[in-house]
Structure 1
Amino acid sequence: MSIPKSSFHIQLPHITKPFKTLSHKPSKILCSQSPAPQNPIISILRVIPDWADAIQESRLKQPRPLYKNKDWVEHRSSLRHLKHLLSSASSRVILSLVPPVLAFTTVAVFVASYNTLVFWDLLPEFFPVLRASSLPYQLTAPALALLLVFRTEASYSRFEEGRKAWTKIISGTNDFARQLIVSVESDSVLKTALLQYVLAFPIALKCHLINGSDIGKDLKSLLEDDDLAVVLSSNHRPRCIIQFISQSLQLLNLESSKLTTLESKVTCFHEGISVCEQITSIPIPLSYTRLTSRFLVLWHLTLPIILWDDCHWIVVPATFISAASLFCIEEVGVLIEEPFPMLALDELCKLVYDNVQEALMSEKKIREMLDAKMENGASRKQSPNGYPTAGSGQSTWPNN
């Protein structure tokens, strides 16, 4: 059973005096100017980074599943380490690290080759061997570890904040729909339209937060065409749907207490928008991110020189392993800093829709059963001692 499209349409009030918009002076751009041609060397150097970024962005757009019981069994399986190792070639995080890891490994190969040529006297005598003491690295290694830990922890706190915000939004949507189904007794067109607006809010907010979402496609089967046109023409689509909800509530013939309760649920939606927009608009302080990146780059540029005396050509795999490990930790922190593409928002919105569908299907049946119980309860006979007779419907604990 699907929610039917209603013929109810809300007429937005005509604003005769719109808000004054800020005037922007057009910038002076000469028509004769043309974009400078890109250096072919830079274009060649950008091939691998652009390829890695394209893979990463495409993987971020893939829908996330909600875990079920079988997923948790697989998640804690003893074979998970082998499975994760074999799937490394398709990992989004690992593929995004190809440019820096390849660059630092190349530097290690260059340093090892240069020192080998000097050692074999194939270069003039004034060329020195690139070597240095490992003491500075021993002193700065704890600082780098703490910097990576704090960076990842700060990113995870943002991820947790986004998850909690969406938990409140989904819970509020379910509660709002439940109260609408119970409070509005008549199966009117307005009730159906209002339920559609409530279900459309989390979808609109999801599309508002995730880049590249197609809100028209997601809401096409849920909203009427003219309602969808109004939503698509607005600058802030989640708030536009809240306006539909607020104005629809005013048209309901409800008691003031019930209306106040329903209007209070709209506050949950506003709070959810505010929290989510703050997370997407305000990143971790950029100086912190830049410091971590610069520290990692300088560390691995000089790592082959530090390790040459002890490792010689082993500096190449050592640099590769170090760069892959430390940059992977930093990359995970950058990914979860923007939590919403990492959450299963599509599945959460679908779950809300399925819950409301089930509530609508069982609404009349449950009400009929309760009315029948009330009628039967009035005709039940009591025993002389005041206890209910057999078959009176009194429930007992299953273990008793």
Structure 2
Amino acid sequence: MHDPILTGITQVGLPLTPFTILSPSLGLLLVFRTNASYGRWDEARKFWGLNINHTRDLNRMATAWYGNQSDFDGTEFMGSQSPLKQAVNTAERQYLLGQVSLMTWAFVRSMKRHLSPVDEDEEAFKEEIKSRLTPEQAQNIIDAAHRPNRALYDLSVAIENLPMHFVRKNEINKNLSIFEDTLGGSERLLTSPVPLFYSRHTARFLSSWLLLLPFALWEPFANSWNHIDMLFSTAFTSIMLFGIEELATQLEEPFTILPMQGFCDKIGANCDEIVSWAGEGLEDEAVVAANMKEMAPSR
């Protein structure tokens, strides 16, 4: 035994039984809350993964299919041949494909702004949009009530302006439908948070449990000097359990922790690189015929 530092104080204790009974319930509540929050974060991450994949796909198809709207004999395009290099206006191609790349970036950047707090991203968004787009394009997006929708419309117009058969434009436009789905899914996560009473009940349950825990540990730690071991045990338990609660709190708002700015910068760089490849690998009929003749097996 030991001499207490403070004397003349009535000892107050609680039995461990209620804590033992409630521990599984508290554990399950924390697990369910953490899983629900992680599910929201994982879903948001997958939406942005789809954005990254399909922005690349869109610009790849637009670049490779540019100018394919008719056969060489002038008949309706059947998808079997590409136009001659010299038949393409390279300056016009660079501009039109550049518009597709820019509007692709404008959509994801507008989506990032749409999902972020106003005071966190508004000024940076306006500055970036004005620095990359024409004044009219930038102002149209900034003034729109729903900026991602406006940017998506501008992207549709950029695709429609490409000299390309409508069948291939339809294939490219399928990516825009996916963008609408990722945008709508992200808005659902943003506007449908974890119910407040669920979060509050978990926090109150955990706080009450940890607040009363030292009274239940008083007797088991009676042999330690002035119950010093109880203080360390209670502090360690509180840090671990409150850490789980804080983890769930952070994950339930995924757009505050996902590196969306990095995603936007990555998408912009990838799209610019893809459209810069326009015209590479396209050979005229004479070159193709010569290569085929050279590769033909000798008899």
Amino acid at match of 1:297: S
Q: Structure 1 313/245 Cα, relative in aligned 2: closer, same or farther at 3 Å?
A: same
Number of aligned residue pairs: 263
Amino acid at match of 1:295: F
In the TM superposition, residue 381 of structure 1 has moved relative to its aligned partner by 7.3
In the TM superposition, residue 303 of structure 1 has moved relative to its aligned partner by 1.3
Mapped contact 1:170–1:202 kept (Cα < 8 A): no
Mapped contact 2:48–2:182 kept (Cα < 8 A): yes
Q: Structure 1 155/144 Cα, relative in aligned 2: closer, same or farther at 3 Å?
A: same
1:155 to 31, 37, 54: 37
For 1:197, the equivalent position in structure 2 comes to 103
For 1:51, the equivalent position in structure 2 comes to none
In the alignment, structure 1 segments of 5+ residues that lack a partner are: 1-114, 386-400
For 2:166, the equivalent position in structure 1 comes to 256
Output the CA distance in 2 between the equivalents of 1:209 and 1:272.
Answer: 12
Moved more, 132-141 or 372-381: 372-381
Amino acid at match of 1:264: K
In the TM superposition, residue 277 of structure 1 has moved relative to its aligned partner by 0.6
Q: Structure 1 237/131 Cα, relative in aligned 2: closer, same or farther at 3 Å?
A: same
For 1:377, the equivalent position in structure 2 comes to 291
Q: % of aligned pairs identical?
A: 27
SS of alignment partner, residue 309 of structure 1: coil
Q: What is the TM-score when the length of structure 2 is the normalising length? A: 0.80
For 1:350, the equivalent position in structure 2 comes to 265
For 2:197, the equivalent position in structure 1 comes to 287
SS of alignment partner, residue 380 of structure 1: helix
Q: Structure 1 300/160 Cα, relative in aligned 2: closer, same or farther at 3 Å?
A: same
Output the CA distance in 1 between the equivalents of 2:202 and 2:147.
Answer: 37
In the TM superposition, residue 180 of structure 1 has moved relative to its aligned partner by 1.5
Instruction: Confirm whether residue 206 of structure 1 aligns to residue 206 of structure 2.
Output: no
In the alignment, structure 2 segments of 5+ residues that lack a partner are: 68-87, 222-226
Q: Structure 1 136/223 Cα, relative in aligned 2: closer, same or farther at 3 Å?
A: same
Q: Structure 1 353/255 Cα, relative in aligned 2: closer, same or farther at 3 Å?
A: same
For 1:215, the equivalent position in structure 2 comes to 125
Mapped contact 1:155–1:337 kept (Cα < 8 A): yes
Amino acid at match of 1:148: L
Q: Deviations over 1:25-73 (max 9, x none)?
A: xxxxxxxxxxxxxxxxxxxxxxxxxxxxxxxxxxxxxxxxxxxxxxxxx
Q: Which runs of 4+ in 1 moved over 6 A?
A: none
Q: Structure 1 278/381 Cα, relative in aligned 2: closer, same or farther at 3 Å?
A: closer
1:337 to 252, 268, 274: 252
SS of alignment partner, residue 29 of structure 2: helix
Instruction: Confirm whether residue 268 of structure 1 aligns to residue 178 of structure 2.
Output: yes
Output the CA distance in 2 between the equivalents of 1:307 and 1:171.
Answer: 54
